[in-house]
Amino acid sequence: MTPHPTSVRMVRCPGCGGDSRYASDNPWRPFCSERCKTHDLGAWGEERFRVPATEPPDPSGGAAPNADPT
Ligand SMILES: [Zn+2]
């Protein structure tokens, strides 16, 4: 009985729409690559959570935690 040959199942990459190897050696499946996976997730997050590019400055300036009880 011969073992089944390594049948690589090809699926369509949701990221780029190209061929993606749906195999155990493809950790990004069903995406074709890390780039497609991260790009998809990034686009998702960016669309839902649109964060400002610049962070507000630290509004501190009141209590100074540098008090020395000596
Ligand atoms: Zn892709």
Q: What digits encode the pLDDT tens for the residues 3-44?
A: 655 677 899 999 999 999 999 999 999 999 999 998 866 655
Residue ranges of domains in the chain: 9-48
CA 34 / ligand 1 centre spacing (Å): 8
The predicted pLDDT at position 7 comes to 72
What's the burial of 6, exposed, middle or buried (CB within 10 Å: 0-12/13-18/19+)?
A: exposed
CA of 48 to the centre of ligand 1 (A): 22
What spacing in Å lies between the alpha carbon of 64 and ligand 1's midpoint? 52
**End-to-end Cα distance, the chain:** 84
**pTM, 2 dp:** 0.49
Which residue did the predictor score with more confidence, 58 or 40?
Answer: 58
CATH class of 9-48: alpha beta
